[in-house]
Amino acid sequence: MRDAPPIREAFVESLDHEGRGVSRVDGKTIFIEGALPGERVSFAPYKVKPNYEQAEVVRVLEASAQRVEPACEYFGVCGGCSMQHLEPSAQVAAKQRVLENALWHIGRVRPEVLYPAIVGPSWGYRYRARLTVRQVPSKGGILIGFHERRSSYISDMRRCPILPPHVSALLPGLHELVGALSIPDRVPQIEVAVGEGITVLVFRHLLPFSKKDEALLRAFGESAGVQIWLQLTGPDSCRRLHPADAPGLAYTLPEFGVSMAFRPTDFTQVNMGINRLLMRRSMQLLDPQPGERIADLFCGLGNFSLPIAKLGAHVVGVEGSDALVRRAAENAAANGLAGNSEFHAANLFEATEDSIAALGRLDKMLIDPPREGAVAVVKALGPTAPRRIVYVSCNPATLARDTAVLFHEKGYRLKGAGIANMFPQTSHVESIALFERD
């Protein structure tokens, strides 16, 4: 058996895109979890490669002035957060640098303007979450929480400060509830979805619940003031158990006077407050005008589509999921916007110049793709492509890759870019960029 690598010391130069401290020791790059720029630390490697090592802090020898005491007792074990030890405004600055570095090192372009970061509360913001459930008798029974760092094990949580306080307060009761069910080892996940005044818990179960189980679930929902939904197979199997008749989930965008209905398993933004501010920034940059035709690609439920239509433009929403396309159209109709909106199902990862041209004349475009980005879309933009594109990204690397295509191949200028701190305490970087061409 090999001896463990020796504990060494290093000076930390910067943070990487995962919130790890970056150091260089004997010509190798060391990525150190829990270390901050300007610190001297001792570290223990857990992965050693010829050109780099991954390590974790053993001891902070000289601390950064930006180091703070983590607010959560599970920090360092739970994999849900990686930056609680860094002061919140410094987290924002670090994410802005991640975006700038990606745009330059991957895209070879710098924005003409850096937008002020979009920020909000640092805690209690996570309105969507998937809590993993495991029955582990050797650890006391039911475990509920997020995965541990670098592990498939579960960090057993009795509170979580990034969840809304009323949801965090449910965790001890959920342990008791699952433990009392007849099939506790067949309940792998509880999904949390919070809307305007409504909280839903979706219990994923691999076998049918008994009548007694359903009674226990109803009683929990009644006492906690939450809706209980059950999901036996795929998302389409999701059904409300309690109460039998109740309002559905929705969130509002008050600045634009629209309300968005959604199902508990639909994709929606995790952070409602930041989503509203991001919507304001997006609409300022896009500047929809009556008479314009604007494409909203990867439109989902219509998060961006409805404000575009509300501002008077005709929006053409495109999304890969037939179910989401239907719900986007329903949301448009419910908000009185059916007359200046249309929605289509298409696989945008296979976009071609012909498929983009088939959308008709487009004055502007908003792109909000998943982590994979929208490289097929940007490569498909032809001579008649819109003059202005607003790109909302959840992955700086794919944004930078797509920026390279827009800037170097399609003749767009990167007018501006900035971050939205959608996930405080984590290394996740949400960003927005504006492209224009003559």
Q: Which residues are annotated as a binding site for S-adenosyl-L-methionine?
A: 269, 298, 303, 319, 347, 368
Could you give the dihedral angle defined by the CA atoms of residues 271, 273, 275 and 281, in that order, rounded to the nearest 10 degrees?
-150
Quote the Cα angle for 428-53-66, to 5°. 50
SS3 category, 425: coil
Instruction: Name residue, tokens 């219990």.
Output: 203
299 is catalytic: no
Q: Work out the number of other CB atoms within 10 angstroms of the CB of residue 34.
A: 23
Q: Which is the catalytic residue, given 261, 306, 376, 394? A: 394
DSSP 229-294: EEESSSGGG-EEEESSS-PPEEEEEGGGTEEEEE-TTS---S-HHHHHHHHHHHHHHH---TT-EE
Kindly report whether the peptide bond that precedes residue 50 is cis, defined as omega within 30 degrees of 0.
no
Residue positions forming the annotated binding site: 72, 78, 81, 160, 269, 298, 303, 319, 347, 368
How many H-runs (helices) and E-runs (strands) does the chain carry?
10, 21
Extract the annotated binding site for [4Fe-4S] cluster. 72, 78, 81, 160
CA–CA distance, 128 with 55 (Å, rounded to integer): 31
**Contact between residue 422 and residue 430 where contact means Cβ atoms under 8 Å apart:** yes
Task: Give catalytic residues, as residue numbers.
Answer: 394
